[in-house]
Amino acid sequence: MEYQSYFNEIVEKEYGKDVLKEINDNIIKFRKPSFRINPLKGDVTCVQAKLESLGFKLSSIDFYDNAFILENKTQEELENTDVYKDGQIYLQSLSSMIPPLILNPKVNTDILDMAAAPGGKTTQIAALTSNKARITACEMNTIRAKRLEYNVKMQGATSVFVLNQDSRNLDELFSFDAILLDAPCSGSGTRTTKESFKGLTEILVKKSVASQTKLLAKALKLLKKNGTLIYSTCSIFKEENEEVLKSVLKDKSFQIESIDFNSNLIKKLPSSINGVLTIAPTEHTEGFFIAKIRKV
Protein backbone atom coordinates (compact mmCIF):
# COMPACT_ATOMS: atom_id res chain seq x y z
CA MET A 1 0.00 0.00 0.00
CA GLU A 2 2.12 2.81 -1.35
CA TYR A 3 -0.21 5.55 -0.10
CA GLN A 4 0.60 4.61 3.49
CA SER A 5 4.27 3.83 3.00
CA TYR A 6 5.38 6.44 5.56
CA PHE A 7 3.05 4.96 8.19
CA ASN A 8 4.27 1.44 7.40
CA GLU A 9 7.91 2.52 7.61
CA ILE A 10 7.55 4.12 11.04
CA VAL A 11 5.36 1.40 12.58
CA GLU A 12 7.59 -1.43 11.33
CA LYS A 13 10.69 0.36 12.67
CA GLU A 14 9.14 1.00 16.09
CA TYR A 15 7.01 -2.11 16.63
CA GLY A 16 8.10 -4.75 14.10
CA LYS A 17 6.64 -6.46 11.03
CA ASP A 18 4.16 -8.64 12.92
CA VAL A 19 2.57 -5.68 14.73
CA LEU A 20 2.42 -3.70 11.48
CA LYS A 21 0.60 -6.54 9.72
CA GLU A 22 -1.87 -6.91 12.58
CA ILE A 23 -2.59 -3.17 12.62
CA ASN A 24 -3.06 -3.03 8.86
CA ASP A 25 -5.36 -6.06 8.97
CA ASN A 26 -7.46 -4.45 11.70
CA ILE A 27 -7.81 -0.85 10.55
CA ILE A 28 -9.51 -1.81 7.30
CA LYS A 29 -12.36 -3.38 9.28
CA PHE A 30 -15.52 -1.39 9.95
CA ARG A 31 -15.37 0.34 13.33
CA LYS A 32 -18.83 0.51 14.89
CA PRO A 33 -19.99 3.85 16.34
CA SER A 34 -19.49 4.36 20.06
CA PHE A 35 -20.94 6.91 22.43
CA ARG A 36 -21.35 7.75 26.09
CA ILE A 37 -24.55 8.64 27.90
CA ASN A 38 -24.40 12.05 29.56
CA PRO A 39 -25.57 11.93 33.21
CA LEU A 40 -25.82 15.73 33.28
CA LYS A 41 -28.82 15.47 30.95
CA GLY A 42 -30.37 12.08 31.63
CA ASP A 43 -30.33 8.92 33.73
CA VAL A 44 -28.02 6.36 32.13
CA THR A 45 -30.41 3.43 32.61
CA CYS A 46 -33.38 5.39 31.24
CA VAL A 47 -31.51 6.64 28.17
CA GLN A 48 -30.23 3.15 27.43
CA ALA A 49 -33.75 1.73 27.74
CA LYS A 50 -35.16 4.41 25.45
CA LEU A 51 -32.59 3.72 22.73
CA GLU A 52 -33.19 -0.02 22.97
CA SER A 53 -36.96 0.57 22.70
CA LEU A 54 -36.23 2.38 19.40
CA GLY A 55 -34.50 -0.70 18.06
CA PHE A 56 -30.88 0.21 18.80
CA LYS A 57 -28.80 -2.78 19.87
CA LEU A 58 -26.14 -1.66 22.34
CA SER A 59 -23.09 -3.39 23.77
CA SER A 60 -21.73 -2.24 27.12
CA ILE A 61 -18.07 -1.39 27.72
CA ASP A 62 -16.07 -3.10 30.45
CA PHE A 63 -14.13 0.01 31.50
CA TYR A 64 -16.89 2.65 31.52
CA ASP A 65 -20.50 2.12 32.60
CA ASN A 66 -21.70 5.15 30.62
CA ALA A 67 -20.21 3.98 27.30
CA PHE A 68 -21.72 1.79 24.60
CA ILE A 69 -21.05 0.43 21.12
CA LEU A 70 -23.84 0.68 18.57
CA GLU A 71 -24.15 -2.76 17.00
CA ASN A 72 -26.90 -2.62 14.41
CA LYS A 73 -27.50 0.90 13.09
CA THR A 74 -25.58 3.86 11.71
CA GLN A 75 -24.25 6.96 13.39
CA GLU A 76 -26.67 9.03 11.29
CA GLU A 77 -29.65 7.08 12.65
CA LEU A 78 -28.43 7.73 16.18
CA GLU A 79 -28.04 11.44 15.44
CA ASN A 80 -31.70 11.59 14.40
CA THR A 81 -32.96 10.54 17.86
CA ASP A 82 -34.28 12.94 20.49
CA VAL A 83 -31.72 11.73 23.04
CA TYR A 84 -28.91 12.85 20.72
CA LYS A 85 -30.55 16.17 19.87
CA ASP A 86 -31.13 16.86 23.58
CA GLY A 87 -27.49 16.25 24.49
CA GLN A 88 -28.21 13.09 26.46
CA ILE A 89 -25.53 11.22 24.53
CA TYR A 90 -22.20 12.20 22.98
CA LEU A 91 -20.66 10.34 20.06
CA GLN A 92 -17.04 9.63 20.95
CA SER A 93 -14.42 7.01 20.15
CA LEU A 94 -13.68 4.55 22.94
CA SER A 95 -9.99 5.47 23.03
CA SER A 96 -10.72 9.18 23.49
CA MET A 97 -12.86 8.43 26.55
CA ILE A 98 -9.88 6.96 28.37
CA PRO A 99 -7.73 10.08 29.12
CA PRO A 100 -10.46 11.75 31.25
CA LEU A 101 -11.00 8.46 33.10
CA ILE A 102 -7.29 8.20 33.89
CA LEU A 103 -7.21 11.87 34.90
CA ASN A 104 -9.87 10.92 37.47
CA PRO A 105 -11.01 14.52 38.04
CA LYS A 106 -12.27 15.57 41.46
CA VAL A 107 -15.06 17.92 42.52
CA ASN A 108 -14.14 21.39 43.79
CA THR A 109 -10.85 21.49 41.90
CA ASP A 110 -9.42 23.67 39.14
CA ILE A 111 -9.05 21.75 35.87
CA LEU A 112 -7.56 22.85 32.54
CA ASP A 113 -8.24 21.29 29.15
CA MET A 114 -5.49 22.79 26.99
CA ALA A 115 -6.70 21.87 23.49
CA ALA A 116 -10.36 21.29 24.12
CA ALA A 117 -12.33 21.45 20.84
CA PRO A 118 -14.65 19.91 19.88
CA GLY A 119 -15.38 19.20 23.54
CA GLY A 120 -15.77 15.46 23.97
CA LYS A 121 -13.22 15.15 26.76
CA THR A 122 -14.15 18.53 28.26
CA THR A 123 -17.80 17.63 28.66
CA GLN A 124 -16.83 14.16 29.88
CA ILE A 125 -14.78 15.76 32.66
CA ALA A 126 -17.78 17.93 33.55
CA ALA A 127 -19.95 14.80 33.70
CA LEU A 128 -17.40 12.88 35.80
CA THR A 129 -17.40 15.72 38.34
CA SER A 130 -21.19 16.33 38.20
CA ASN A 131 -20.55 19.96 37.20
CA LYS A 132 -18.84 20.51 40.57
CA ALA A 133 -15.35 21.38 39.32
CA ARG A 134 -14.03 24.59 37.78
CA ILE A 135 -13.04 23.67 34.22
CA THR A 136 -11.20 26.00 31.84
CA ALA A 137 -11.33 24.82 28.23
CA CYS A 138 -8.90 26.49 25.81
CA GLU A 139 -9.17 26.53 22.04
CA MET A 140 -7.08 28.89 19.91
CA ASN A 141 -9.07 28.53 16.68
CA THR A 142 -12.14 30.79 16.72
CA ILE A 143 -14.36 28.52 14.61
CA ARG A 144 -13.44 25.46 16.69
CA ALA A 145 -13.97 27.47 19.89
CA LYS A 146 -17.52 28.23 18.79
CA ARG A 147 -18.10 24.53 18.17
CA LEU A 148 -16.70 23.83 21.63
CA GLU A 149 -19.09 26.38 23.16
CA TYR A 150 -22.00 24.76 21.32
CA ASN A 151 -21.16 21.28 22.60
CA VAL A 152 -20.58 22.51 26.14
CA LYS A 153 -24.02 24.12 26.15
CA MET A 154 -25.69 21.14 24.48
CA GLN A 155 -24.20 18.77 27.05
CA GLY A 156 -25.27 20.93 30.00
CA ALA A 157 -21.66 21.36 31.14
CA THR A 158 -22.28 24.50 33.18
CA SER A 159 -18.97 24.13 35.04
CA VAL A 160 -16.96 24.83 31.87
CA PHE A 161 -15.52 28.22 30.94
CA VAL A 162 -14.45 28.35 27.28
CA LEU A 163 -11.41 30.47 26.52
CA ASN A 164 -10.68 31.29 22.87
CA GLN A 165 -6.93 31.45 23.42
CA ASP A 166 -3.75 29.52 22.72
CA SER A 167 -3.08 27.78 26.03
CA ARG A 168 0.66 28.25 25.47
CA ASN A 169 0.02 31.95 26.18
CA LEU A 170 -1.85 31.52 29.45
CA ASP A 171 -0.58 33.72 32.27
CA GLU A 172 1.52 31.65 34.65
CA LEU A 173 -0.33 33.21 37.56
CA PHE A 174 -2.93 30.57 36.74
CA SER A 175 -2.49 27.17 38.33
CA PHE A 176 -4.49 23.97 38.15
CA ASP A 177 -5.01 20.83 40.21
CA ALA A 178 -5.44 18.74 37.07
CA ILE A 179 -4.59 19.31 33.42
CA LEU A 180 -5.59 17.41 30.32
CA LEU A 181 -3.30 17.98 27.36
CA ASP A 182 -4.75 16.03 24.47
CA ALA A 183 -2.18 17.47 22.13
CA PRO A 184 -2.59 18.21 18.42
CA CYS A 185 -0.86 15.41 16.54
CA SER A 186 -0.42 13.61 13.23
CA GLY A 187 -3.44 11.41 13.91
CA SER A 188 -1.46 8.33 12.91
CA GLY A 189 -3.64 6.20 15.19
CA THR A 190 -6.91 7.25 13.57
CA ARG A 191 -6.23 6.99 9.83
CA THR A 192 -7.96 4.17 7.99
CA THR A 193 -8.51 5.29 4.38
CA LYS A 194 -6.31 5.89 1.36
CA GLU A 195 -7.15 9.60 1.37
CA SER A 196 -6.38 10.04 5.08
CA PHE A 197 -2.98 8.36 4.79
CA LYS A 198 -1.99 10.75 2.01
CA GLY A 199 -1.98 13.55 4.57
CA LEU A 200 0.35 11.71 6.95
CA THR A 201 3.85 13.04 6.28
CA GLU A 202 7.14 13.60 8.07
CA ILE A 203 6.54 17.35 7.81
CA LEU A 204 3.24 17.00 9.70
CA VAL A 205 4.89 14.90 12.41
CA LYS A 206 7.73 17.43 12.89
CA LYS A 207 5.23 20.28 13.10
CA SER A 208 3.17 18.33 15.63
CA VAL A 209 6.20 17.56 17.78
CA ALA A 210 7.17 21.24 17.95
CA SER A 211 3.67 22.15 19.14
CA GLN A 212 3.47 19.22 21.56
CA THR A 213 6.80 20.09 23.15
CA LYS A 214 5.78 23.70 23.83
CA LEU A 215 2.35 22.71 25.12
CA LEU A 216 3.75 20.11 27.51
CA ALA A 217 6.39 22.51 28.83
CA LYS A 218 3.65 25.07 29.48
CA ALA A 219 1.42 22.50 31.16
CA LEU A 220 4.17 21.65 33.65
CA LYS A 221 4.43 25.31 34.61
CA LEU A 222 0.69 25.58 35.22
CA LEU A 223 0.38 22.43 37.33
CA LYS A 224 -0.01 22.76 41.11
CA LYS A 225 2.09 20.75 43.52
CA ASN A 226 0.69 17.21 43.77
CA GLY A 227 -1.35 17.97 40.65
CA THR A 228 -2.01 15.47 37.87
CA LEU A 229 -1.32 16.02 34.18
CA ILE A 230 -2.49 13.72 31.40
CA TYR A 231 -0.55 13.94 28.14
CA SER A 232 -2.29 12.15 25.29
CA THR A 233 -2.27 12.00 21.50
CA CYS A 234 -4.18 10.02 18.88
CA SER A 235 -0.84 8.93 17.42
CA ILE A 236 1.17 5.74 17.91
CA PHE A 237 4.43 7.27 16.66
CA LYS A 238 7.01 7.36 19.46
CA GLU A 239 8.42 10.66 18.18
CA GLU A 240 5.17 12.36 19.23
CA ASN A 241 4.81 10.41 22.45
CA GLU A 242 7.72 8.93 24.39
CA GLU A 243 10.29 11.20 22.74
CA VAL A 244 8.31 14.33 23.60
CA LEU A 245 8.11 13.21 27.23
CA LYS A 246 11.84 12.50 27.36
CA SER A 247 12.72 15.89 25.88
CA VAL A 248 10.56 17.86 28.31
CA LEU A 249 10.48 15.84 31.55
CA LYS A 250 13.99 16.58 32.80
CA ASP A 251 12.95 18.22 36.07
CA LYS A 252 12.86 15.75 38.96
CA SER A 253 9.85 17.64 40.33
CA PHE A 254 7.76 15.63 37.87
CA GLN A 255 7.32 11.87 37.69
CA ILE A 256 5.44 9.54 35.39
CA GLU A 257 2.87 7.51 37.29
CA SER A 258 2.09 4.02 36.09
CA ILE A 259 -1.27 3.61 34.36
CA ASP A 260 -3.06 0.41 35.34
CA PHE A 261 -5.78 0.15 32.70
CA ASN A 262 -7.12 -3.05 31.21
CA SER A 263 -10.00 -3.90 28.94
CA ASN A 264 -11.00 -6.81 26.73
CA LEU A 265 -11.40 -4.30 23.88
CA ILE A 266 -7.92 -2.82 24.11
CA LYS A 267 -4.71 -4.14 22.59
CA LYS A 268 -1.62 -2.47 24.02
CA LEU A 269 1.56 -1.66 22.15
CA PRO A 270 5.00 -1.80 23.81
CA SER A 271 6.67 1.38 25.02
CA SER A 272 10.17 2.49 25.94
CA ILE A 273 8.75 4.20 29.05
CA ASN A 274 7.33 2.14 31.90
CA GLY A 275 3.79 2.97 32.97
CA VAL A 276 2.49 4.75 29.86
CA LEU A 277 -0.35 3.36 27.77
CA THR A 278 -0.18 2.95 23.99
CA ILE A 279 -3.39 1.66 22.44
CA ALA A 280 -3.23 -0.10 19.10
CA PRO A 281 -5.66 0.85 16.35
CA THR A 282 -8.11 -2.02 15.92
CA GLU A 283 -11.68 -2.60 14.77
CA HIS A 284 -12.77 -1.37 18.23
CA THR A 285 -10.30 1.38 19.15
CA GLU A 286 -8.34 4.21 17.63
CA GLY A 287 -4.60 4.32 18.21
CA PHE A 288 -3.86 6.44 21.27
CA PHE A 289 -1.02 7.31 23.65
CA ILE A 290 -1.59 8.30 27.28
CA ALA A 291 0.87 9.28 30.01
CA LYS A 292 0.06 10.32 33.58
CA ILE A 293 2.41 12.85 35.18
CA ARG A 294 2.42 14.10 38.76
CA LYS A 295 4.16 17.14 40.19
CA VAL A 296 5.88 15.99 43.36
| First-last CA distance in the chain | 47
Is the predicted pLDDT of residue 6 greater than 80, yes or no? Answer: yes
CA 185, CA 104: separation in Å to the nearest integer? 23
Q: Given this model, what pLDDT does residue 38 score?
A: 98
Q: Say what the pLDDT of residue 99 is.
A: 98
Q: Which residue has the higher pLDDT, 194 or 108?
A: 108
Say how far apart CA 50 and CA 44 lie, in whole Å. Answer: 10
Q: What is the pTM of this model?
A: 0.96
Confidence of residue 110 (pLDDT cuts 50, 70, 90): very high
234 is catalytic: yes
| List of domains in the chain | 3-29+94-295 (3.40.50.150), 31-91 (3.30.70.1170)
Average pLDDT over residues 104-123: 98
Residue 279 — φ and ψ, nearest 5°? -100, 130
Which of 46, 138, 185, 234 is the catalytic position?
A: 234
**pLDDT, average across residues 44-73:** 97
The per-residue pLDDT for 277 is 98
Q: What is the DSSP string of 242-288?
A: HHHHHHH--STTEEEEPP----TT--B---SSTT-EEEPP-SS---E
Residue 21 is predicted with a pLDDT of 95
Per-residue pLDDT at 19:
97
Banded pLDDT at 1 (limits 50, 70, 90) = low
The 10s digit of each residue's pLDDT in 164-210 is 999 999 998 999 999 999 999 999 999 998 889 989 999 999 999 99
Average pLDDT over residues 89-108: 98
Provide the strand spans (E) within the chain: 34-37, 58-61, 64-70, 89-91, 110-113, 134-138, 160-163, 176-182, 223-233, 254-257, 277-279, 288-295
**C-beta separation of 239 from 185 below 8 A:** no
Gap between the Cα atoms of 21 and 1, Å rounded: 12
**Residue range 122-148: mean pLDDT, rounded:** 98
Mean pLDDT of the region 41-70: 97
pLDDT of residue 3 exceeding 80:
no
Q: pLDDT (tens digit, 9 = 90+) per residue, 235-291?
A: 999 999 999 999 999 888 899 999 999 999 999 999 999 999 999 999 999 999 999
142 contacts: CB under 8 Å, gap ≥ 6: 164
Return the pLDDT at 156: 98
Please check whether residue 239 is in contact with residue 245, taking contact to mean a CB–CB distance below 8 angstroms: no
d(CA 219, CA 110): 14
**Average pLDDT score, the chain:** 96
d(CA 256, CA 249): 9
Give the mean model confidence (pLDDT) for residues 213-233: 97
